[in-house]
Structure 1
Amino acid sequence: MQRRQPGGQGPVRRSRDGGRGTRGTGGTRARDGERSASRPAAARRAAAAGAAKRTTAPNPNGLTGRATVLLVILAALALGYAYPVRVYLTQLAEIEALRQSQLAQQERIAGLERQAEKWKDDEYIKAQVRRRFYWVYPGQTPLVPIWDPEKQTDKELGAEPAAPPPPDSWYGKLWTRLEPEPESKN
């Protein structure tokens, strides 16, 4: 039985020794272990006289197959570690925000404790009652400021007082019409 080789070199005769017979083209008998299956077929055959030697084409992008596989593996690892690193950094930011919040709460608690200590003093309580409820001792004349005591007045700033905003209600408009006009400073 004769078969053709895949390359079309002609029929191959198989012998009874497991197919390691002679070639149909009159080649030599192959010895055990001498023939390497890892070598390409072009390297196993002798080149014809005057034939050009085969060379590999240069890779235009400069990446070999190994480098491409390595880059793919590194990209997969980077993508695999990106999410856990992001979660870690987010958790670090949350921990820092909680520390800042805790410090602010501790400062607030300390301020409230200082305030509570002040309320244990009778003189402080009297001063707060006089300031908040406008209480006076018997015989004193109460003076109630009509402006915010924490803000400076226009006179203190050296500017002329600003005109009050026009009233929005009907009774406010009526009252402004009934009031006499202020005298000018001429």
Structure 2
Amino acid sequence: MLIVVLIALALAYTYPVRLYLSQEADIAAMEASQAEQRERIRQLTELVDKWQDDEYVRTQVRNRFYYAHPDETLLIVMNQDAGAAPGTVGLPSAPPETPDKWYDTLWSSIQEANK
């Protein structure tokens, strides 16, 4: 009889223990998510602080939009082709194609539609 009572008690406690362990896992996942969000907020706060600095803004404008002071000369270095030998100038063998103007493309598509 005692064994039956112990088995009944063990079965009765199985569900609450499983529920407790599941909730502990959920809490751990939420805490990890909060830690990631706190880190992201810290990074964004640092970025906002950088953009408040006028010198940082000037540097970004110069790098992104190729702005220069009136007394400066810009020099833009183009990357070589991946297969080019080091020290060689990567000049194209044929002149690059100029893209069609938008109205030429529109007119040719209208002509094609009429055919």
- Which TM class, normalised by the smaller chain length? 0.5 to 0.7
- The TM-score, its normalising length taken from structure 1, stands at 0.40
Q: Which aligned segments of 4 or more residues in structure 1 are displaced greater than 4 angstroms?
A: none
**Is it true that 1:86 corresponds to 2:18 in the alignment?**
yes
Q: 1:108 — aligned with what?
A: 40
CA contact (8 A) 1:129 1:135 kept: yes
Question: Equivalent residues in 2 for 1:29-178 (5 A)?
Answer: 69-138=1-70, 139-146=72-79, 163=83
Distance in 2 between residues matched to 1:86 and 1:144, nearest whole Å: 63
**Aligned to 1:91, what secondary structure does the other structure show?**
helix
Larger Rg: 1
128 and 162 in structure 1: CA distance in 2 versus 1, 3 angstrom threshold: closer
Q: Distance in 2 between matches of 1:132 and 1:140?
A: 16
The one-letter code of the counterpart of 1:129 is V
Q: Which ranges of structure 2 fall in alignment gaps of 5 or more residues?
A: 85-91, 95-115
Higher helix share: 2
Which residue identity is paired with 1:143? Answer: I
Q: TM-score w.r.t. structure 2 length?
A: 0.62
Higher relative contact order (CA 8 A, sep 6+): 2
Task: Write the distance in 2 (CA, Å) between the matches of 1:103 and 1:141.
Answer: 44
Q: How many residues align?
A: 86
Letter in 1 for 2:56: Y
Unaligned runs of 5+ in 1: 1-68, 148-160, 165-177, 181-186
